[in-house]
Amino acid sequence: MGETGVIRKLDEDVVNRIAAGEIVQRPANALKELMENSLDAKATNIVITVKAGGLKYLQIQDNGTGIRFEDLNIVCERFTTSKLREYEDLQVIETYGFRGEALASISHIAHLTILTKTDGSKCAYKASYENGKLKGLPKPCAGNNGTQITVEDLFYNVLARKRALRSPNEEYTHIMEVVGGYAIHNSHVGFTLKKFGENIDIKTPINSSAVENVRIIHGNSIARELLEIELKDETLKMSVHGFITNVNYSNKKGSLLLFINHRLVDCVSIRKALDAVYSTYLPKNAHSFVYLSIELDPRNVDVNVHPTKHEVQFLYEEQVVERIKCCVESKLISCNSSRVMYTQARLPGATAVEEIVKKTTDGAKVYAKDLVRVNSDTQKIDKFFQIAVKNDECQNQIKNIHKEMEADVETRENDKERTDIRNETEVINPEENSELDIENLPKEVERSRWKDININQANLSYIDPKESFKTRQFKYERVETKLTSVKQLRVVVEDRVSRNLREILANLIFIACIDCHKSLIQHSTKLYLCDTTRISEELFYETILYDFQNFGLIKMSNPLPLEELFVLGLNTNEKECKDEGDIRAMAKEMTKHLLSKKSMLLEYFSFELNDEGELLALPLLLDGHTPFMGALPIYLVRLVTEVNWDSEKECFDTLSRQTAIFYSQPNPDDNENVLKTEFWKQEHIIFPAIRRYFLPPTSFVDSGAILQIASLSDLYKVFERC
């Protein structure tokens, strides 16, 4: 038998180094402890600088309360803290730290330097520490209020731990996750994270919001899909607040930010419950993004479970998890109606149409129910319309005329992306100036005139688009707007976009126009009914925002008097007003008001007026598209009455909206040739622009602007049974 081992008391240095290895497992753990100290010190701005994943250099600077000069002697000794006095205080603890081991542990495995200044101190003090002990006296120096802690050569004396860590890039990724989590939860605090000597990777503003910080850290693809959840349970003494992604978002990795009483922790039971809820809605092996802040009675929570404080235990765990699970599930169910038309996301560039076409061209067998219409010119549904049967020659002539028009008005594009969804932006080449002369159009495609309008004391008996204007492109260098209000309006458009509707419209196949307001399109093997007027309105609204200050001109051949146009518009709207003098006076005031905005309208909207009160030009929003001029008087009246001219953002929003309404109105004349022209415009101008640019809002799903009316695979099953 061997000799009985002698029990000895370990040296204090060995004990401290072992304890330090339990608390600081990697640079991210050390940073977490230091950030929590900064938050306990009421800091509102925290700056973190990292080198080599935190192993060579890790610095955190805050503007908190600082450390008193008298405490610098013992601040790095174990079990020294200002946050806990008795064990019973753990039951009501409201701070992150309580054991007083973080700084002591770091000082035993790294070179630690503290630079601090309190509000009442005349200067800052700098002190260095090793193995929990102060090295020399603190030195007075210049510094701002708060604390700056620098950790160098982490694990320099624990080589096995240092070798076990992976690459510096992976350690930096862990640091980004920790900083990102605390930045989202503490949105009132500004966080900055950067690599030493390199660009900033995370920067959140002070007094931000959780959603905005999610957008900054994780991107707009997550932020725009977030759902807010709230839960209060008096019985369990629990309140929950957070944000979860809806059923349209999924990711292979997924992310759970869980804070219990403001501590970033991990809870296996809550994680499994959330995965179980989302498994019903998401594809296999797909996960969600969830941020939850759970507040429980401190007396029901044990925070002293793990050396890194990464875990907590709490009473009534099963009931708490079940309540959270039910809350999340009910929220997802309430938004699930938006998935009626949704399809599973595909790889970039891959669509059902392309896949089936590829199969067909490769000679693979394609079942009849999967056949996709890829060329609308093979046999249009218009063939079965009476109007088309009567005048096939006219239709061919229209095509030839518009081919000439397209040759005159070329679509010019640059490589600048509008957004992550818009892959291209239409611009006008400043080196070229093309003209569309509507005067030479034959009678078959002549746009209908207004009804005869009698204008007293004016030289206009009617306004005819053929006679009154011609489109001309404006010669200029494209500019990128710097107006914050316009950029904010663009963000609103991008936040509300439906990715699945965007996929449908980006790969649409135009079928036919039912009338001036309704059209049929196909995507994959499904047929959709579109409210063309509503979609066009949104298209023109977005076009105005994204091409802001970059419009062409629809130049009037003969200037149009604003006052007479206002009289026309007021006579249309004010049917009960019979006093011609009142209408004339109102028209003069409206003319005066619009002329006062002349410079702004020309600079931002290419809306040109002269000093004599005449309309010279309208903006050209889409090449080849001209608005129905019969709606011009009412449009002008609404510019004065419906636009909020007092607020910049509201002004641009309402003015863009009214202009979009005007440009989206079709010609109501039911003349056969007019209808053909309107149908051609929808097929060859409006829907190609929708396919390239349009960001459909999620409201279109429920409002019926785009409605699925048939599915080939479902119809095929019906016919099989017949």
Structural domain ending residue among the three candidates 331, 357, 388: 331
Integer CA distances (angstroms), 19 to 16, 133, 134, 337, in order: 5, 16, 19, 53
Task: Give, in degrees to the nearest 5, the angle at Cα 362 between 361 and 365.
Answer: 95
Contact between residue 396 and residue 685 where contact means Cβ atoms under 8 Å apart:
no
- Does residue 693 contact residue 418 with C-beta atoms inside 8 Å? yes
Q: What is the pLDDT of residue 23?
A: 67
Where is average pLDDT lowest: 91-100, 302-311, 350-359, 376-385? 350-359
CB 434 within 8 A of CB 404: no
162 and 252 part of one domain: no
What DSSP string runs through 278-340?
Answer: HTTTSPTT-B-EEEEEEEE-GGGEE--SSTTS---EETTHHHHHHHHHHHHHHHHHHTGGGGT
Long-range contacts of 346-354 (CB under 8 A, 24+ apart): 346/503, 351/503, 351/507, 351/524, 352/507, 352/523, 352/524, 352/525, 353/507, 353/509, 353/523, 353/524
Nearest Cα to 353, choosing from 221, 529, 510, 247? 510
Residues 51 and 80 in one domain: yes
pLDDT of res. 446: 31
How many angstroms separate the CA atoms of 97 and 110, rounded? 20
Mean per-residue pLDDT of the chain: 77
What's the rounded Cα separation, in Å, for the pair 590 and 586?
Answer: 6
Range with the lowest mean pLDDT among 272-276, 379-383, 651-655? 379-383
Is the separation of the CB atoms in 49 and 56 below 8 Å? no
Task: Tell me if residue 532 falls in helix, strand or coil.
Answer: helix
Distance CA 323, CA 320 (A): 5
Please give the pLDDT value at position 97. 52
> What is the pLDDT at residue 5?
66
Do both 249 and 305 map to the same domain?
yes
One domain for residues 68 and 154: yes
Domain membership of residue 633 (yes or no) is yes
Q: Are residues 502 and 617 in the same domain?
A: yes
Q: Predicted confidence band at 240 (pLDDT cuts at 50, 70, 90)?
A: very high
Q: Is residue 553 part of a domain?
A: yes
Range name among 115-129, 260-274, 405-419, 698-712 with the lowest pLDDT average: 405-419
pLDDT digits over 97-126, tens only? Answer: 555 677 888 888 899 999 999 988 989 999
d(CA 625, CA 551): 13
| Statement to judge: residues 51 and 176 lie in one domain | yes
| Both tokens assigned to 353 | 């149409």
* Same domain, residue pair 497 and 549: yes
Residue at 721 is within a domain: no
User: Which residues are within 8 A (CB) of 33 and not within 5 positions of it... i.e. 6 or more apart?
Assistant: 23, 24, 97, 102, 103, 106
Kindly state the average pLDDT of the residues 305-325: 77
Higher per-residue confidence, 286 vs 425: 286
Same domain, 643 and 531: yes
Question: Long-range contacts made by residues 60-64, C-beta under 8 angstroms, separation at least 24?
Answer: 60/31, 60/34, 60/35, 60/148, 60/149, 61/146, 61/147, 61/148, 61/149, 62/38, 62/146, 62/147, 62/148, 63/144, 63/145, 63/146, 64/38, 64/40, 64/146, 64/147
pLDDT at 360: 41
C-alpha distances out from residue 437 to 404, 406, 551, 614, 618, Å: 11, 12, 19, 22, 16
Question: Range with the lowest mean pLDDT among 84-98, 232-246, 403-417?
Answer: 403-417
In this structure, the answer to whether residues 22 and 71 fall within a common structural domain is yes
DSSP 8-class letter at 263? E
What's the sign of the alpha-carbon dihedral 403, 409, 414, 416?
A: negative
User: Are 704 and 578 found together in one domain?
Assistant: yes
In-domain check, residue 229: yes
Q: How far apart are CA 114 and CA 562, in angstroms?
A: 72
Could you count the other beta carbons within 10 Å of the beta carbon of residue 333? 13
Q: Specify whether 560 is located in the same domain as 611.
A: yes
Q: 506-509: which pairs have CB atoms within 8 A and are 24 or more residues apart? A: 506/691, 506/692, 507/351, 507/352, 507/353, 507/691, 508/687, 508/690, 508/691, 509/353, 509/372, 509/373, 509/374, 509/376
Distance CA 420, CA 278 (A): 26
Q: Are 677 and 445 in contact (CB under 8 A)?
A: yes
The whole-number pLDDT of residue 405 equals: 42
Spatial distance between the Cα atoms of 685 and 688, rounded to a whole number of angstroms: 6
* Dihedral sign of CA atoms 312, 317, 322, 324 in order: negative
Of 204, 235, 263, the residue that ends a domain is 204
User: 187-207, pLDDT tens digit by residue?
Assistant: 999 999 999 888 889 999 999
Contact 634, 572 (CB under 8 A): yes
Do residues 679 and 552 lie in contact, with contact meaning Cβ atoms separated by under 8 Å?
no
Give the angle 461-462-468 at the CA atoms, nearest 5°: 120
- Reduced to 3 states (helix: H, G, I; strand: E, B; else coil), residue 60 is strand
Taking the C-alpha atoms of residue 227 and residue 430, their distance in angstroms, rounded to an integer, is: 45
Give the count of domains, the chain.
3
Nearest to 288 by CA among 253, 325, 319, 261: 253
Residue 552 pLDDT class (50, 70, 90 cuts): confident
Count the neighbouring beta carbons within 10 Å of the beta carbon of residue 155. 21
Q: Which two tokens stand for residue 378?
A: 């093979």
| Residue 302 belongs to some domain of the structure | yes
Rounded to whole angstroms, the Cα distance separating 121 from 491 reads: 46
Q: Phi then psi for 219, rounded to 5 degrees? A: 100, 160
Is position 461 within any domain? no
Residues 145, 142: Cα–Cα separation, whole Å: 10
Three-class DSSP category at 474: coil
Last residue of a domain, one of 312, 331, 350: 331
CATH number for 137: 3.30.565.10
- Residue 717 inside a domain? The answer is no
Q: 475-529: per-residue pLDDT in tens?
A: 346 678 889 999 999 999 988 888 888 888 888 888 888 888 899 988 888 888 9
Bridge partners of 295, per DSSP, are: 239
Residue 412 lies in a domain: no
Q: What tokens does 258 get?
A: 């869980």
The mean-pLDDT minimum among 395-404, 478-487, 684-693, 702-711 falls in 395-404
3-state secondary structure of 370: helix
Residues 23-56 have pLDDT tens digits of 688 899 889 889 988 998 899 999 999 999 999 9
Asked whether residue 250 carries a pLDDT value surpassing 50, the answer given is: yes
Closest CA to 147 of 129, 126, 131: 126
Structural domain span for residue 239: 221-331
Query: Is pLDDT at 334 greater than 60 in this prediction?
Result: yes
Low-confidence winner among 75-84, 357-366, 529-538, 658-667 (lowest mean pLDDT): 357-366
pLDDT at 456: 31
Question: What confidence score (pLDDT) does residue 394 get?
Answer: 44
pLDDT higher at 466 or 643: 643
Predicted local confidence at residue 589, as pLDDT = 92
Between 17 and 340, the higher pLDDT residue? 17
- Based on the fold, state whether residues 165 and 296 are members of the same structural domain: no
Please give the pLDDT value at position 155. Answer: 87
Task: Please report, for the domain that includes residue 317, its CATH number.
Answer: 3.30.230.10
